[in-house]
Amino acid sequence: MSAGSPDLIVICSSSPGFLRGVGALLAGEFRFLECYTLHEAGQMIRLHQPGRAVLDLRAGSARQADRGWATIEQCRSTRFIVVSSHEQADEPMIPREIVGRTEVIRVSDRNPDFAEVGRVLLTTAARATPLTGTSSRGPDNSGELPESCRSDAKVSGHGRPADTDGSATDGPSRTACAVPGSLVSGTDSPIVDRFRTRTPELRQILKRLEVAARHNVTILLIGETGSGKTHLANLIHQVSPRSDSPFLHVACGALPGELIESELFGHVKGAFTSAHADKDGKFLAAGTGTILLDEIDVLAPDQQVKLLRVIERGEFEPVGSNVTLHVKARIIAASNLQLQPLVEQGRFRPDLYYRLNTLSFTIPPLRKRLPDIEPLARYFVHHHASQMGIEVSEILPEFVECLQRYPWPGNVREMENAVRSAVIYSQNGRMTPETLPVHILEGMAGPASDPSVAAFFGVKQGHSLGNRIELTEKDIIEQALLKHQFSRTNTARHLQISRVTLYNKMRKYGILPDRECSAGG
């Protein structure tokens, strides 16, 4: 198997400080993905096939480690850097299948040497298959790192016991200074990477969206409140040729109906009672940048006509003016509601709908993106702990399980608020279920118009696929996969169907890993 992403590094650690420290070293040199358990690292490595993986084994039980290694040892194209502690008496138990591709580093629990991890990463990068735009050889083209890049610090490999001071009992020193030149030529899929999703269906949507983002076209984003539309619109702006120009967010639903036109198109002095001076609208203020029109479904029919003219011809007149102005900004429209039913109800113009629907992307709600819940939750824990100066040293599995059992009608925004609250109430650096809001522990979901919120809890009863009617088949399969850690054998047994049937249904609903989708296409 060839390496799928040689410039990508997976970093696995339960320590927020370790992730921040190593991540700061890698910024600008590598693309990297963070994860928090060895089992999760195995899933990410199988999905992304990174060139290297950093595994911090200073915490965690032996049972968790065995479960994680069972997945990781199947990844044959990845080199590993295992971090253990000076305080640990024994060498990490590394499977025989990956010993030849593994470096072991010992660091202090209290003051880990992040620079040492960075040096080893650069060394393995220099010895590995050449990365994009670089050579695997040192500056002298001899294939060895020059003497000026060597250091006295030693790295112990598996099978060569290290002393408690971290020095190896045999073998040469294998650390290096910075390798000349950038180690990567750029990010292959910045929107996919930065949206922090591991849901195959959504990853496919984001890849298509990224193609559209690089062209001067109007885009429509559909998704429930809190599903990430604003964040996604910002990412579209950042990867577009307009990234150096302004990004403006207009919340149409927060504006009185009579003021929306003035906000969007501007007005001239005397156009209405309170118009005491000329005012430029958002379309002019955005210049050559991007304007996000959120909750576009609230626009009145006459406002929809003017917006259609802006999209098709790039022209408008300020309120009270006969002067035609031209729009240079790129438009991204967003709605919490599907627009087709609004067209059928006479609340949305068909011509505007068909104009927008050409490049329309629907963002699934969080309850249909179950693989994203754990990594997003851990990211929010580390982010808010850092913001508030609270040290978090452990996130209990039960904490994550509580989050996975809740349907999140408020989506990512609701979960972030719940995690922020949990960080505040954490004690002794531990995130436990008791730190979460009571309504999440008791499964008392807030109001929602989507019936899948109420039906979400039914899957926990463990009925077979043939006996379930309250959820869609796709929902049942996704939740069963999550429950069984994406084991197809166990999932098929739980649903009382064959593995072949499960595979075919996963392919039908677009929930296969990216590389399997590509191979099957």
Helices within 113-164 (DSSP H only): 114-127
Residues 200, 325: one domain? yes
Q: Output the pLDDT for position 74.
A: 66
Question: Quick one: which of 59, 57, 54, 55 has its CA closest to 26?
Answer: 54
Secondary structure class of 251 (helix, strand, coil): strand
Query: How far is residue 106's CA from residue 209's CA, in Å, rounded to a whole number?
Result: 43
Q: Which of 312, 332, 362 is the last residue of a domain?
A: 362
Q: Output the pLDDT for position 176.
A: 26
Helix, strand and coil in the chain, % to nearest 5? 45, 15, 40
Residues 124, 254: one domain? no
Question: Which structure tokens are listed for 199?
Answer: 């849901």
Residues 79, 96: one domain? yes
DSSP code for 365: P
Assess if residue 176 is contained within a domain: no
Residues 76, 139: one domain? yes
Assess if residue 156 is contained within a domain: no
Q: Output the pLDDT for position 415.
A: 96
Residues 342, 392: one domain? no
Q: Output the pLDDT for position 178.
A: 26
Q: Measure the N-to-C terminal CA separation of the chain; round to a whole number of Å.
A: 19
Query: How far is residue 125's CA from residue 179's CA, in Å, rounded to a whole number?
Result: 9
Secondary structure class of 16 (helix, strand, coil): helix
Residues 227, 118: one domain? no
Q: Which amino acid, one-letter code, is at 512?
A: L
360: number of Cβ within 10 Å: 16
Question: Which structure tokens are listed for 81?
Answer: 């850097």
Residues 65, 108: one domain? yes
Q: Which run of H or E residues covers position 283?
A: helix 282-285
Half-sphere exposure of residue 305: CA atoms within 13 angstroms, side-chain side: 3
Q: Output the pLDDT for position 365.
A: 92
Assess if residue 119 is contained within a domain: yes
Q: Is the pTM of this model over 0.75?
A: no
Q: Which amino acid, one-letter code, is at 429?
A: G
Which CATH number belongs to the domain containing residue 63 in this structure?
3.40.50.2300
Assess if residue 43 is contained within a domain: yes
Give the mean pLDDT per block of 10 residues along the chain (521 residues).
Answer: 65 76 70 77 79 82 62 75 76 75 79 71 56 32 31 31 32 28 40 81 90 94 94 94 93 86 87 82 92 94 92 91 92 94 93 93 91 86 88 85 90 95 92 94 73 56 46 74 78 88 84 60 47
Residues 417, 474: one domain? yes
338, 356 in Cβ contact below 8 A?
Answer: no
Which CATH number belongs to the domain containing residue 205 in this structure?
3.40.50.300
Which CATH number belongs to the domain containing residue 410 in this structure?
1.10.8.60
Query: How far is residue 23's CA from residue 118's CA, in Å, rounded to a whole number?
Result: 10
Query: How far is residue 56's CA from residue 71's CA, in Å, rounded to a whole number?
Result: 16
Residues 305, 330: one domain? yes
Chain CA centroid to CA 357, Å: 25
Assess if residue 521 is contained within a domain: no
Residues 301, 213: one domain? yes
Question: Which structure tokens are listed for 301?
Answer: 């029919």
Q: What is the DSSP string of 43-87?
A: HHHHHH-EEEEEEE-SSS-HHHHHHHHHHHTT-TT-EEEEEEETT
Q: Which amino acid, one-letter code, is at 277?
A: A
Chain CA centroid to CA 147, Å: 40
What is the residue range of 231's domain? 190-362
Query: How far is residue 262's CA from residue 265's CA, in Å, rounded to a whole number?
Result: 5
Q: Output the pLDDT for position 65.
A: 62
Q: How many domains does the chain have?
A: 3
Residues 263, 345: one domain? yes
Assess if residue 199 is contained within a domain: yes
Q: Which of 149, 182, 206 is the last residue of a domain?
A: 149
86, 41 in Cβ contact below 8 A?
Answer: no
Q: Output the pLDDT for position 64.
A: 57
Residues 294, 400: one domain? no
Assess if residue 470 is contained within a domain: yes
Q: Which of 149, 174, 207 is the last residue of a domain?
A: 149
Assess if residue 171 is contained within a domain: no
Q: Which amino acid, one-letter code, is at 408?
A: W
313: number of Cβ within 10 Å: 11
Spell out where 148-284 has E strands: 219-222, 247-251, 266-267, 279-280
Query: How far is residue 424's CA from residue 388's CA, in Å, rounded to a whole number?
Result: 8
